[in-house]
Amino acid sequence: MTDQEKETTDFGFRTVAKEKKTGMVAEIFHSVAAKYDLMNDLMSFGVHRLWKRFTVDSSGVRPGQKVLDLAGGTGDLTARFSRLVGIQGQVVLADINESMLRVGREKLRNKGIIANVSYVQANAETLPFPDNYFDCITLSFGLRNVTEKEKALRSMFRVLKPGGRLLILEFSKPLFEPVSKIYDAYSFHILPKIGKIVAQDAESYRYLAESIRVHPDQETLKDMISDAGFENVTYSNLTGGIVALHRGFKF
């Protein structure tokens, strides 16, 4: 790898300087935050709710535990975990984007979810939490937007307790070629049009489609999680591999 390659990263199909990606991603999510939940329902035909439910059901979270919902956005997972951990537990909704965090806080408080949830603006690469702190960490549809993915995985490993569980829910590589072709056509031709109509922002959703294509596939991400120190790393393909849930443990 050349010095230039070390200093650049993907931004969709473009190659940009690493120090610029965080700000560029921030602009995307500042733009889409207000319509994020609506767009999720439209883009996935509501299936994202089933993916997230499967993630929570796979977490093994119990009353009294501490959970980090990283890149938690508008708080779908946080709401579910809040009920699981109970009043003696704690859920931290963390997101690098202030706009997403604000929307999530408002939505959860409107639902009466207050007592056991806190909000932290944080970069996944340098998590501002003590070592061995959380019983479970989830990262839902956020890893592909991280500049230094390996660094973020090591940061998550550090703050997870021994015996704790990491769950990464992310778009992945469809298992069947016909599904992949249909998915590409939908992502690159229909999705930006929906974004333009609903969120008045076609470009952000074009980037989101591109970011899915350049994200590591299931086996590559499994190896990256293992390299960060996690053990017993496995994954489940959901909806034909359009999405995958990776699990890893810290022992």
Contact status, residue 160 vs residue 250, Cβ threshold 8 Å:
yes
Long-range contact pairs involving 40-44 (C-beta distance under 8 Å, separation at least 24): 42/194, 42/198, 43/191, 43/194
Known binding-site positions for S-adenosyl-L-methionine: 74, 95, 123-124, 140
Amino acid at 150: E
Q: Which helix (H) or strand (E) holds 6?
A: helix 3-6
Structure tokens at 142: 């956020």
Compute the distance between CA of residue 154 and CA of residue 138 in angstroms, rounded to an integer.
Answer: 14
CA quadruple 215, 221, 227, 231: dihedral positive or negative?
positive
DSSP annotation of 194: H
Query: What residue numbers does the annotated binding site cover?
Result: 74, 95, 123-124, 140
* Contact between 62 and 84 (Cβ < 8 Å): yes
